[in-house]
Every structure is written in structure tokens, then in C-alpha cells.
Amino acid sequence: MEQINWLEDAVRQLPKGAFLMVKGNPMTIGWAQFGVLWGKLCATVYVRHSRYTHTLLEDCESFTISVPSAGTMQKELGYCGTHSGRDGSKCEALHLALVPAAFGAQDGLDGCRYHIECRILHRSELDEKAIADPALQSRYYPAGDPHTMYIGEIVGVTEANV
Ligand SMILES: Cc1cc2nc3c(=O)[nH]c(=O)nc-3n(C[C@H](O)[C@H](O)[C@H](O)COP(=O)(O)O)c2cc1C
């Protein structure tokens, strides 16, 4: 894989938001991990059952995480974290273009700095009853709507000059 120093930037940006890209639908995410599993560099993302992205992932073998530069795309992060692709194209509403995938995963979101392309290796339900801290359980799952975890092998990362 080409040497791009994306990891620290991505981890620092995530709490402020990145875009999970599936079939051209950008969904704002704040959670993801990067690391090594089964000898492969992987990214894990968490998607609640209620999201349109969850429906899209039922029939999809890959995802891409598009990471904005610090302090940019705040309007887009807000919109894509509060509107559902079920109700219409977010890219059309925001006049945003897609960046064609370079490694065969999903197209990224134009305007972002990094596009982390992932091939799904594993999907499973996050069992909220297994969370050791009951405060986290009640904070994040008061009404159910569990997360599905998707572990993807990072097949390539591209960097844009933004
Ligand atoms: C900062 C931020 C982070 C978010 N992180 C996640 C996340 O990691 N997983 C998730 O399922 N939803 C997350 N959401 C909520 C979704 O982005 C939101 O429900 C979105 O409208 C779903 O879009 P969709 O229906 O097109 O998939 C986040 C929202 C914001 C504002």
C-alpha cells in the first residue's frame, strides 16, 4: 500500500465526524477503529439498524470512510448526520460529487482529504448486554436500535490535496 500518513489525522478527525460511504450515500460517523486483525490492516465501523446505510450494507461487500481535513465540511457533516438517504440524495442536496473508488471499494465523497477503502471481512451484532459499564448501556441503547459492526480490510487509501 502506498505510504500515506492518514492514521493520526483520521483518528483526530473522527470525534468531529467523517463520512461512511456506501452506494453514494454519505452518512456521518463518529466511531471507527483502525488496527490489525487476521494479519490484515482493518477498519471497523458501527451502524445502527435504523440507518438507511444499514439497509444499503445488507447488499454490499465494501465501504469507504472519507475523512475531511480538520475544520472543513462542517455543514456537510451536520447535514449527513441528521438527514437520511431514504428521503432523497444527500449529495444532490449538498451539490457534492463522488470520487471514484481507486481500489474497488465504494466511491468517496469529494472535498475530503482521505478516502479509506475497505472490503468487508466480517459483520456481527454488537451485544449491548455485554457492555461492562451499565452507564454506557443505558446512555447509548435506551430504546434499543443496536449497532451492527462491520470489519473491513483496508484495501487502499487515497489522499486529495484539500
Ligand atoms: C457526529 C455524528 C456522528 C455519528 N456517528 C454515527 C455512527 O458512528 N453510527 C451510526 O449508526 N450513526 C451515527 N450518526 C447518526 C447518522 O449519521 C444519522 O442517523 C444519519 O442521518 C443516517 O443517515 P442514513 O439514514 O442515510 O444512513 C452520527 C451522527 C453525527 C452527527
Q: What are the tens digits of pLDDT across the range 105-139?
A: 999 999 999 999 999 999 999 999 999 999 999 99
Give the residue, by CA position, lying nearest to ligand 1 atom 20: 81
Residue 2: inside a domain: no
Q: What gap in Å lies between CA 44 and CA 159, rounded to an integer?
A: 20
Q: Residue 29 in contact with residue 150, Cβ under 8 Å?
A: no
Domain assignment present for residue 64? The answer is yes
Instruction: Quote the domain boundaries for residue 115.
Output: 7-159
Q: What is the pLDDT of residue 34?
A: 98
- The verdict on residue 155 lying in a domain is yes
pLDDT surpassing 60 at residue 2: no
111 with 162: CB under 8 angstroms?
A: yes
* pTM score of the predicted model: 0.97
CA of 49 to the centre of ligand 1 (A): 11
Question: Of all atoms in ligand 1, which is nearest to the CA of residue 32?
Answer: 8
Predicted confidence (pLDDT) per residue in 42-71, tens digit: 999 999 999 999 999 999 999 999 999 999
CATH number at residue 121: 2.30.110.10
The closest residue, in CA terms, to atom 11 on ligand 1 is 47
Q: What is the per-residue pLDDT for 84?
A: 98
Does residue 59 lie within any of the structural domains?
Answer: yes
Identify whether 112 is part of a domain.
Answer: yes
28, 75, 94, 150: residue to mutate for ligand 1 pocket, most atoms within 8 A of CB = 28
Domain count, the chain: 1
Is residue 120 included in any domain, yes or no?
yes
- Has residue 97 got a pLDDT over 60? yes
Binding site membership of 30 for ligand 1 (Cβ less than 6 Å): yes
- Which residues lie closer than 8 Å to 14 by C-beta, 6 or more apart? 29, 30, 31, 32, 67
Say if 1 falls within a structural domain.
Answer: no
Domain-located, residue 48: yes
Is the CB of residue 43 below 6 angstroms from any atom belonging to ligand 1? no
Q: Is the CB of 148 under 6 A from ligand 1?
A: no
